[in-house]
Amino acid sequence: MTELAALKKFSARVGADPLLVQAAGGNTSLKQSGVMWIKASGTWLRDANSRDIFVPVRHEALLAALARNDPACEACTDFVLADLNATGLRPSIETTMHALMPQRVVVHVHCVNTIAWAIRGDAEQRLAEKLKDFNWAFIPYARPGLPLANAIAARLKPGTDVLVLGNHGLVVAAKTVVEAETILDRVVNVLLRPVRALVPPDLAALHLLCKGTDYAPAGNDETHALATDALALESGKNAVFYPDHVVFLGVGVATEVGSGAPLVAAPGKGVLIRGNAKPAVEPMGRCLADVMRRVEADDPLTALDSEAIGRLVNWDAEKYRQGLNVGV
């Protein structure tokens, strides 16, 4: 099997695990012969084996542009090798992060257990104990794209192969896909958090709420926890802890069907999804509940402020990703 084929297989495995990747979140890459193959923006890692979701970019040219803080590094479309890019898709909005890591294989996931640590104000200190056996770095929150690339460059040391991105997720890098898989599994194991038991939904009550609307109850109990777990509901309504939350669910999860929102968390009853909601909505709702079931009420959490949220939702490359993410 070629290394790119191995990466696709690994990507599909990671993409099918909702505790690691949700919808179009997360991305993987491989550098070979001067070309970096990176997941396309808006595509789902889960589909890596069944459709062409990797885009070739010129690695050296991208690194040179990054070094001069070139705004072309925001969308990275200028660095795509058009002749090799069969699908015509754009590279991931997190391409610069992959380019900066010198290792051949880079894997970035929105690991639920990692995020439950990474949203704490004391994340760096707490993780220092947990990850003492790893060559790792903590990267304080920065908007994905150029700001995040610059934040990583400031903390990257030779040999660093694990990054925890504050209020965001996890990056693992290695020489081969097999090594990346091993490191990822080890890190995730070390960062496992106790998880609160699921409170099942009140399906009868949900069906009543749906009557005469185009809403239907969410498909699994993990998603319903966004409405049945008090801490998850509270956080969903009042705080934004990581980028994909606000990008896909907006600020403040809706609690009433009358809101017309794609996702409604009916307090104590469960979650409803609107018929024409994008396919990313339910996985993102579940992710938020999965993260919040791994934190406690007295954990010192740090939410994104309104300025950080504004920079995310007004970013052109991010608008493209959302527009494309109609589900496949």
Kindly list the residues in this chain that would bind Zn ion in the complex (CB under 5 A): 169
- Residue 232 near residue 168, CB atoms below 8 Å: no
> Least CB distance from residue 199 to Zn ion, whole Å?
29
Considering beta carbons, is residue 15 or 169 the nearer one to Zn ion?
169
Considering beta carbons, is residue 145 or 169 the nearer one to Zn ion?
169
- Residue 14 near residue 26, CB atoms below 8 Å: yes
> Least CB distance from residue 103 to Zn ion, whole Å?
18
> Least CB distance from residue 201 to Zn ion, whole Å?
29
Considering beta carbons, is residue 98 or 224 the nearer one to Zn ion?
98
Considering beta carbons, is residue 8 or 39 the nearer one to Zn ion?
39
- Residue 234: CB partners within 8 Å, gap ≥ 6? none
Considering beta carbons, is residue 93 or 261 the nearer one to Zn ion?
93
Q: How far is CA 320 from the centre of its chain?
A: 16
> Least CB distance from residue 258 to Zn ion, whole Å?
33
Distance in angstroms (rounded) separating the CA atoms of residues 165 and 32: 26
> Least CB distance from residue 88 to Zn ion, whole Å?
23
- Residue 27: CB partners within 8 Å, gap ≥ 6? 38, 39, 45, 92, 94, 98, 108
- Number of Cα atoms under 13 Å in the Cβ half of residue 194: 3
Q: Which residue is nearest to Zn ion (CB)?
A: 169
